Structure 1
Amino acid sequence: MSTRIPSEDGTERLKTRVEGLSLAKYCNDERAHVAILMCTYNGGAFLREQLESFADQTYTHWTLYVSDDASTDATRTILKEYQARWGEGRLRLFDGPCEGFGKNFISLLKRADVHADFYAFSDQDDVWFNDKLERSVASLVTRPDSEPALFCSRTQLVDATRQTLGFSPLFARPPSFKNALVQSLAGANTMTINQAARDLMLQLPDDADIVAHDWLAYLLVSGCGGHVHYDARASLEYRQHGRNVIGANNRLQDRVKRLRKMLSGRFVTWNDANVRILRALDPWLTAESRAVLAHFEKGRRASALTRCYELRRSGVYRQTTLGNITLIIAALLARV
């Protein structure tokens, strides 16, 4: 049974009862275990604060699995220090494939050594709110075990010294496969998935071209009949600094930069890679998702008039008015 309770900021929080137990008790029930999946590369400057935020979590049943891509700074030393402090049962360290952050996350997710009920993706330089895992689990335990499910949220943006810069954009339109085809809803650093969603991602071909593992998770869960819960409340401090792999898009200049990337042809390349993966996983897609994907594919390659018609029939959309205007321009210029 689930009930929604108003919180101080006017939003609602989810209070869940599972098999007659309150969430507080469920959080101390060893049956529900979370694997925190972190990929590192020369992240020593901010790593300690992130590790301490794990230690401060109100949800205590977790194990941290780290895949390090041959760091040359203090990253390994820090991780081994915490492993000695917490124990090897709490922190497991592996060597990454050194093929980019997307491949590193997927390789970690596929490791047979990694096993849990839920899987939380983590960056190396953020700071989690202490209820991040609790809120994720509260959402995911309401879904059937057989249904792929994904929790994600907004982020609070901070600079390198953790001074607040604002928040990531607030999205109001519903999560869906039609949205996922043209936009990643949230950062992987906010995402937690269940075992059924992990099973989907385990079907990925070993040679798959991974654009971004967060976008891929959203595509697969939504396209295969799963449930995506987007929490309008931030769940972590997303640190903005000179070495961010992707970074935020809350400022006008950030959005203009992404628009330029889209119109440059990079969006076409990304969609090519995503569509190849979706075609490889066609047996797991729902009938509705296959139909949407068929219109989307036809619209990407057709002449101008047919292109606009088929993309409209596909129903794809982005989360904001500006994003949809950008999508229309990209469609007209054959940049989808």
Structure 2
Amino acid sequence: MTYKLPTCAVLLASYNGEHWLPEQLFSLNAQRGVDLRVIVSDDQSSDGTTRVLLEHASTLPLSILPAQAERFGSANRNFLRLVRDADIGNAEFVALADQDDIWHSDKLSRAIERLREDGAAAYSSDVEAFWPDGRKRIIKKSHAQKQFDHLFGSPGPGCTFVFTRALFLEIREWVTANFSTLSSLWVHDWILYAYARAHGHRWIIDGVPTMRYRQHQSNEIGVNFGLKAIQRRLAVVKEGRYRHDIVIIAELTGANPVCARALRRLSWLDRLWLIGHASQFRRSLPEVLALRLIFVLMPAAPIPEVA
């Protein structure tokens, strides 16, 4: 009897990644125990990204979506475009990929095995971050999930995400219907996690790192580690983007309307209520303590209503 490998569509967003793409594409080609194909959305790269992609298309099942008339200008919009437009064919699973990481050879097969064993609809994992100077650090995201942690952040880098076909198609319908509003938000991984959890889908966060997560100056997000990362995230809080995105995500997913209303008003009574419930919103104690401080620092500027 011939064993049929599980099929997986890998959605890869690229932009000026010629320096890192070869290693990532080699690691995709080295995936064991899965029949994969790669679908790329390139955001009008001005370097040799397209050349690198075409060079690897002879050894890796790879296709590139047609160029858009204008640049998306963010990884969020580029990934949402992939979710909306990529033809996944008959793929049983769908994974997301950044252009600059290095996947372990069992990344997809492990995720698929866990999804099947646990009857879950989505998967993410811890990662090993690495820097050009040789530093390495395990980034632990696999803390126990909380009731509403999906309204306040991602379960880890989106490049670890793997979805069942059924959940991906459900997410695609929602993203397509709300593409303009979702495109104005900060990060795609948080958006997709929030939808899945808010609609009752089981999500696994694996405590085993499944990839090497490259850190460099061109990272749009990167790991939340070090003084610069903290300063970058505080800037997002102070300019009001974090609060804005929480409210919009909560309202679009229909999750926790009490929390959404408190964040919209953000009176001092609302801030105290949010501080008191912060343990339901983040998965680790340091994150809970940081969120309590964030609730104090958040500006209370008006947030436009969701159309």
Report the counterpart of residue 287 of structure 2 in structure 1. Answer: 323
4+ runs of 1 displaced by more than 6 Å?
none
Counterparts in 2 of 1:121 and 1:182: CA distance versus 1, 3 Å:
same
| 1:310 to 1:237, Cα distance in 2 relative to 1, 3 A | closer
- Would you say the 8 A contact 1:43–1:125 is kept in 2? yes
CA-CA distance at 1:246 after TM superposition = 0.7
Partners of 2:274 and 2:103 in 1: CA distance? 42
Q: How many residues align?
A: 290
Residues 172, 133 of structure 1: CA spacing in aligned structure 2 closer, same or farther, 3 A cutoff? closer
Deviation at 1:178, TM superposition (A): 0.6
1:297 corresponds to which residue? Answer: 260
Aligned to 1:248: 223
Deviation at 1:270, TM superposition (A): 2.2
Greater relative CO (CA pairs within 8 A, separation 6+): 2
Alignment of 1:208 with 2:181, yes or no, is yes
CA distance in 2, matches of 1:213, 1:55: 25
Structure 2 residue runs of 5 or longer lacking an equivalent are: 301-307
- 1:185-224 paired onto structure 2 within 5 Å: 185-202=155-172, 203-204=174-175, 205-210=178-183, 211-224=186-199
Corresponding residue for 2:304? none
Verify the 8 A CA contact 2:16 2:45 in the aligned structure 1.
yes
1:227 to 202, 205, 217: 202
Inter-partner Cα distance in structure 2 for 1:275 and 1:132: 31
Of the three residues 183, 191, 196, the one matched with 2:153 is 183
Flag the 1:231–1:139 CA change in 2: closer, same or farther, 3 A: same
**Greater shift after overlay, 99-108 or 203-212?**
203-212
Alignment of 1:1-336 (within 5 A): 28-30=3-5, 32-86=6-60, 90-97=61-68, 98-99=71-72, 100-111=74-85, 113-115=87-89, 116-142=91-117, 144=119, 149-160=121-132, 163-168=134-139, 170-171=140-141, 173-176=143-146, 178-202=148-172, 203-204=174-175, 205-210=178-183, 211-278=186-253, 282=254, 290=255, 293-300=256-263, 301-309=265-273, 312=276, 316-335=280-299
Cα distance, 1:117 vs structure 2 = 1.0
Identity between Structure 1 and Structure 2 (%): 24
User: Secondary structure, in 3 states, of the residue corresponding to 2:181?
Assistant: coil
Map Cα deviations across residues 185-204 of structure 1 (whole Å, 9 max, x no partner).
20001111112221232112
- In 1, the alpha carbon distance for the partners of 2:188 and 2:75 equals 9
- For the residue of structure 2 that corresponds to 1:84, the secondary structure is coil
Please provide the CA RMSD for this pair.
Answer: 2.5
Gaps spanning 5+ residues in structure 1: where?
A: 1-20, 283-289
- State the Cα distance separating 1:112 from its structure 2 match: 5.7
Corresponding residue SS for 1:50? helix
Normalising by structure 2, what TM-score?
Answer: 0.85
User: TM-score by structure 1 length?
Assistant: 0.78
Question: Using the alignment, how far apart are the partners of 2:226 and 2:16 within structure 1?
Answer: 27
CA distance in 2, matches of 1:172, 1:157: 15
SS at match of 1:114: coil
Opposite residue 42 of structure 2, the aligned amino acid is D
Higher strand share goes to which structure? 1
Structure 2: distance between partners of 1:150 and 1:39 = 19
Quick one: structure 1 residues 177 and 187, their matched pair in 2 at CA, closer, same or farther if it must change by over 3 Å? farther
Aligned to 1:233, what secondary structure does the other structure show? Answer: coil
How far does residue 221 in structure 1 lie from its aligned partner after superposition? 1.0
Note the alpha carbon deviations across 1:21-44, whole angstroms, 9 max, x for none.
9xxx9xx524x3100110111100
CA distance in 2, matches of 1:263, 1:159: 28
Q: Tell me if the contact between 1:119 and 1:194 (Cα under 8 Å) persists in the aligned partners.
A: yes
Shift of 1:275: 3.1
- 3-state secondary structure, aligned to 2:112: helix
Question: Would the alpha carbon gap of residues 265 and 225 (structure 1) be closer, same or farther in structure 2, given more than 3 Å must change?
Answer: same
Structure 1 residues 96 and 296, CA, compared in 2 at 3 Å: closer, same or farther?
farther
